[in-house]
A and B are shown apart, each in its own frame.
Chain A
Amino acid sequence: GENVEQHPSTLSVQEGDSAVIKCTYSDSASNYFPWYKQELGKRPQLIIDIRSNVGEKKDQRIAVTLNKTAKHFSLHITETQPEDSAVYFCAARRRDDKIIFGKGTRLHILP
């Protein structure tokens, strides 16, 4: 089945700097890759997603890149702010349409 690996598990960056989180997936049939932000005790919130027919997508300070050949995708957050502190999950949709999550990255924005 689909396996989604996510790195790093913890990331600390200075406020204003950029943060990058990387994921790889195993199922070559995967065609949809969402990223979720989860604050403590709350539900995951979709922050950006990308489909397999594009290589990059940007929404203000957030961007995602996808390399289908290498089967990896990355989240980039620029000009980080304190409210960006949270746990971020990458995910991939399996060939049976189920969405499988990576293990998560705890992002700390340092003042």
Chain B
Amino acid sequence: GAVVSQHPSRVICKSGTSVKIECRSLDFQATTMFWYRQFPKQSLMLMATSNEGSKATYEQGVEKDKFLINHASLTLSTLTVTSAHPEDSSFYICSAPTTIAGGSGELFFGEGSRLTVL
């Protein structure tokens, strides 16, 4: 299946700093990528949709100025958590749908990034 790689897998930072997470599609082009957040023992909550060549779209309640998304190329999307606070500590996971003709648009997930803000 398609491969999505995410980096870093773990990051610990001080409150007030910014953290960048990268998501790459390794063997296919992804014009769209999705960013989810997962708190412990909870579901995956869609935060935003990253669109190559245009602005990201955010789900209701997600602060676009806090979670900056850049889709620099057809294989790379980045999520920057700006001025991170302890309540931003979570598991952030990106995904990309397959674009195989006739396919179902199955989502492939990155490994996830566990952010801990001290």
Q: Interface on A for B, CB 8 Å cutoff? A: 1, 32, 34, 41-46, 49, 51, 89, 93, 97-104
Are A97 and B109 closer than 8 Å at their CB atoms? no
Are A98 and B106 closer than 8 Å at their CB atoms? no
Q: Is B72 an interface residue (CB 8 A)?
A: no
Count contacts between A and B, CB distance < 8 Å.
47
Chain A hits for B93, CB < 8 A? 43-44
Taken residue by residue from 19 to 46, chain B's Cβ proximity to chain A (1 for < 8 Å, 0 otherwise) reads as: 0000000000000101010000011111
Q: Interface on B for A, CB 8 Å cutoff? A: 32, 34, 36, 42-46, 49, 60, 93, 97, 104-107, 109-112, 114
Residue of A nearest to B108 (CB): A46
Residue contacts A-B, CB under 8 angstroms, 13 given: A32-B105, A34-B106, A34-B107, A42-B112, A43-B109, A49-B104, A49-B106, A89-B43, A98-B46, A99-B107, A101-B45, A101-B46, A104-B43
A97-B97, A104-B42 are known contacts; what are 7 more A-B pairs with Cβ within 8 Å?
A: A32-B105, A34-B104, A42-B111, A43-B93, A46-B107, A97-B32, A101-B44
Are A99 and B110 closer than 8 Å at their CB atoms? no
C-alpha spacing A46/B42, complex, angstroms: 18
